[in-house]
Structure 1
Amino acid sequence: MERNGSYSVRSGYHWLHNTECRRRNPRPSSSMAIDPRLWKQIWKADVPPKIRNFLWRALRNCLATSANLHKKKIARTPMCPLCNDHPKTTEHILLLCPWVEPVWFGCSLNLRINRQAVTSFGQWLGNVIENGRTPQERSRCLTVIAYFCWQIWKDRCKAVLEHISPSPARTTHAAAIAINEFLGSLDHGRHQTEHPTLSNDNQHHLWNPPASPFVKVNVDASWNPNSKRVGIGILIRNTHGDFIKGSSIPSVANSAIEAEAQACLEGCKLAAEMGYRQVTFESDCKEIISPLKGPLSNGRWEIYPILSIVRDVLNCFQTYVWTWIPRTANQAADHLAMLATSRMSPEVWVNRPPSSLMHILNKDGLPCPPRSA
């Protein structure tokens, strides 16, 4: 019947059609079987729109899997072309294919896939995200899972189309780098678009810990144009925000940009000496970050020799990321650089920062580490 209570051919047709659909497919669709709260979390997730759309298609079972293509008589077989043991469903592609399991275990969430417990991708995703987490933890967890699903899909397609074996380690590293770069740009964008009526304290941009298994190295330089003296500050913190090591190094330079290049070089050397393999480097100097993320020829000629050495040192790392941050997020390294301008020799702090750095670490919103003796 129509809304006004009268019968029409159209209303009769829709009633018959819906009755037949329920008879043929009594099970609810994947979208209806998913908790509405999960849908809200996905559409609010801190990921690019293309990854949100990918998750939506995965939850709706709309991916171009062999199983789906076989049903439409497009693919000859529903079997997975990589393992040839199971149908290539959404769950198999993202969770159950043998090469995918070490990818999930290697991510920052250290997930172990229980094959017997996986009934659908939506059910698995909802269980992992909830699992007694706070709202902030659920948001971070969803970001990690979304990026890893996206990277698994891309690397799997590449393996099938180019006939190469997928690499769990390569997939894990690529996803971790993408997460670090996106969250960094997202936080900086939020800082730049804050409401102008907010107080200065609320506008203060906080330092953000890196995703596991990365450590973060912040570098900065202070330069005196009269004396040509340079102070270099380096600060290393882990994924929990713990202070690992800091250094103040006095030097000399002919320009401010040269001083910043020296700071990047010293930061790379310190991370390499400590044996780190996955590192995120942060600096508030765009003129340094740009050539380090692309061709060195994009940078200024006077710093080319220093950046060439930086590139050589970077070969020591398995994975590294260069990120620009605003000065307000780099105050800890800036403080150590200022300390170096009054020093005659380098000074190093391990695990315990100098007492003058404590208030800055507190402003970053992290637990205050013990003071140095």
Structure 2
Amino acid sequence: MEPHSQLPSSLSVDDNNVRMECYLRNSESVNHVFLNCDLASLIWGSLERQLNLVLVPVDDILLKLQGWWVHSSGNSALAALTRLLPTIVCWELWKARNKACFKDVVTTSTGLLHQITLQLHAVGHAFPFRCTSTGGATLRGQGLVPFLVYPRHRTIALSWSCPARPYVKLNIDGSSLGNPSDSGGGGLVRDDSGCFLCGFSSYYGWQTNMHAEASALLEGIQLCLSQGYGHVLVELDSLTLLNVVQGRSKCLWRIFPIVSAIQAKLERGVFRLQHCYRELNAAADALAKHASNMRTSSEYHAPTYLPDILGILQLDREHFPYIRTTRWISFSSP
């Protein structure tokens, strides 16, 4: 998909003969260079008409930038353009000013718009613009963006799997109601047939999600060691915490003592840590949410367990499929 090689005829200004000569005949100021000179006025006006932006006339460049950026919320192609274009316009106006002052080279409005479009295309190839509304295709047709990416959704079926002997499986999860807020952690251990062995639901007080996840992992490992389980497959749905514990990411100082304790206890047995999707961690999630909501802590041993997870345990043992929706993107044709 190649960017548009020619500036579309629709992307133009009313007077193609406006040049940067104004810099040589007027007293120079920031507002004059970037906003009030004939060339700058035509460029801003042309782009605002292209994007259908209705802005209050101002005489200060900072107010002009603010007027554009109030339209920049969201992840649509239009929002991305209103974030990018003011910076690119000012940069190209500054380059045109320097060419006029130091090289005696004049810049036409059409030439300046062409340079702005080329800059947008370079950004668009590195960070593609997303099409989230019908207006995105219009922007591509006008030549302001080289192409668009269209979000698509795909569904996959997942099922919880039993560990292979001699391993037991520990699923853990953390919960913080407001990040930070009341937090809790939950975990449960199951054998190679999916039968519940033991578990916990613990309240951790006012903490963040990451703190709750790390605390739950530490408590789950301690539970396995206290019950004499020497081979443990640990599943958690926090890829960030997994990378921290395994040394692939830096550790936040707030949870450094917890992570250090986790790493020390992992050396006391055969532990395999792996990431799992959130859909496959429903039982641990229910235990964690119970603790953070009820502000209580409990430990469970077979055959007793929290009634809230009875249905989840049965579904997991029968390898009932959980449906996960994933997002991917496809590119528009040039």
TM range (shorter): 0.3 to 0.5
**Larger relative CO (CA 8 A, sep 6+): 1 or 2?**
2
Report which of the two has the higher share of helix: 1
Q: Greater CA radius of gyration, 1 or 2?
A: 2
Report which of the two has the higher share of strand: 2
TM-score, length basis structure 1? 0.42
